Amino acid sequence: MAAKERCEVCHDDGNAIIHVDCATHTYPDGTKGIHDMCFSVYPKEIVALCGPNGSGKSTLLEHLNGLMVPDVGRIRVFGKDVDKSNLSSVRRVVGLVFQDADSQLFSPTVMDDVMFGPLNLGLSVEEAKERAERALGVVGISDTGKIPHNLSGGQKRLVAIAGVLAMDPKILVVDEPTGDLDPSNARKIEHLLKSLRTEHGISVVIALHDIDMAARLADRVCIVKDGGIIAEGTPEDVLYNEALLTSAGLQLPTVARIFKSMGLESAEGNKPLTIEDLTQLMRDSFQRRD
C-alpha cells in the first residue's frame, strides 16, 4: 500500500474512529471500486452511505475492517494505520455484516455460528456461549439450535449480525441489510441498528440505496458516486437536496416528496424525515388554516 502524502481533501480532525484517507482500490480487471475516497466515522453515530448500484459502497465497506486494502491511500482505525500486523485487532473492533447473509453463516447450528468468533478470539467455551447468548438476545433470536441454512432471510440476517455483535465491536458495518427483507423484518433490523447506537454506543456504518430508510435512520448521510463521496451532511440537508440526489441517480425520500408537493415548506425550515414528523407538521398546518 503506497501511503500518499497528506491528502488535501480529507481532513482527519482527530475525532474520527475510522478515517479513510484518500483511498483508491483497483480490481484486477482495472475497475476502480473506490477512487480518492475520503471518509470518516465518528463515535456513536449512524452514518449512511447512499448511492446507486456500482457506486462503490461495498468496496468502501470492505476496506473498513481490512478485508480489502487500498492500492493508494490508507485506512486508520482508532488512530492506527491498518496493516497486516494489526488486522486481527482491527477486525475485533470493526464488525462487518455482508449483504449476502448466507456467505456469513456456515456452522451446524445458530449457537455454533455465533460462538465461532468469540472462540476464535481465544475465549473459553463458557465465555463464548455467554457472549453468543447475549448477542442473540440483542437481535431477538431464541431458536439457537436451528440449522442456519433453514432460517428465513430476515432471521439469517439477524444471526449474521449476532455473530458480529458477539465479538463486542465498537463499529458495526452493514451492507444493504434490508434489501431482500419483508417490511416487518426490515423494520426489526432498523430498530436494532438504532438501539445499538443509542443503548450500546456502537457506531453503525450502513450502505443503502433505500433513501427512505436513510432518512429515518441516519445521523449523517454520505452520497456515493463513481467511487467517491460527492456530498455529506445531516439527513435534512442532504436528503432535501433534489438536484444533488438526482445527479447521483437517487431521488428524494417519500416524506420529502410529499412535504414539498404539498407546499408545506415554511420559514421555520422544517424538514421532516419520518411519517410521524410529516403528519404532525400537516396537522399543525391544517390547524393554522382553520
Binding residues (CB under 6 A) for ligand ADP: these are 27, 29, 31, 33, 51, 53-59
**What's the closest the beta carbon of residue 176 comes to ligand ADP, in angstroms?**
8
By beta carbon distance, the residue nearest Mg ion is 58
C-alpha–C-alpha distance, residues 87 and 41, integer Å: 18
Q: In the complex with Mg ion, which residue's Cβ is closer, 21 or 62?
A: 62
Q: In the complex with ligand ADP, which residue's Cβ is closer, 251 or 266?
A: 251
Residue that is written with C-alpha cell 439469517 in the block? 156
Question: Which among ligand ADP, Mg ion, none contacts residue 148 (Cβ within 5 to 8 A by kind)?
Answer: none
What residues line the site for Mg ion (CB under 5 A)?
Answer: 57-58
**What's the closest the beta carbon of residue 54 comes to ligand ADP, in angstroms?**
4
**What's the closest the beta carbon of residue 213 comes to Mg ion, in angstroms?**
15
Question: Which among Mg ion, ligand ADP, none contacts residue 31 (Cβ within 5 to 8 A by kind)?
Answer: ligand ADP
DSSP assignment of the chain equals -BPPS--SS----S--SEEEEEEEEE-TTS-EEEEEEEEEE-TT-EEEEE--TTSSHHHHHHHHTTSS--SEEEEEETTEE--GGGHHHHHHHEEEE-S-GGGG--SSSHHHHHHHHHHHTT--HHHHHHHHHHHHHHHT---TTS-GGGS-HHHHHHHHHHHHHTT--SEEEEESTTTTS-HHHHHHHHHHHHHHHHHH--EEEEEES-HHHHHHH-SEEEEEETTEEEEEE-HHHHHT-HHHHHHTT----HHHHHHHHTT---TT-----SHHHHHHHHHHHHHHH-
Q: Please give the C-alpha separations between residue 205 and each of 112, 147, 176, 184, 222, in angstroms, as whole numbers.
A: 26, 29, 10, 21, 10
Q: In the complex with Mg ion, which residue's Cβ is closer, 15 or 53?
A: 53
Q: In the complex with Mg ion, which residue's Cβ is closer, 57 or 188?
A: 57
**What's the closest the beta carbon of residue 261 comes to ligand ADP, in angstroms?**
29
**What's the closest the beta carbon of residue 97 comes to Mg ion, in angstroms?**
12
**What's the closest the beta carbon of residue 207 comes to Mg ion, in angstroms?**
6
Joined grid coordinates for residue 133: 447468548
C-alpha–C-alpha distance, residues 35 and 58, integer Å: 13
Question: Which among Mg ion, ligand ADP, none contacts residue 59 (Cβ within 5 to 8 A by kind)?
Answer: ligand ADP
Question: Which among ligand ADP, Mg ion, none contacts residue 33 (Cβ within 5 to 8 A by kind)?
Answer: ligand ADP
Q: In the complex with Mg ion, which residue's Cβ is closer, 27 or 80?
A: 27
Q: In the complex with ligand ADP, which residue's Cβ is closer, 50 or 136?
A: 50
Question: Which among ligand ADP, Mg ion, none contacts residue 27 (Cβ within 5 to 8 A by kind)?
Answer: ligand ADP
Q: In the complex with Mg ion, which residue's Cβ is closer, 57 or 197?
A: 57
**What's the closest the beta carbon of residue 103 comes to ligand ADP, in angstroms?**
14
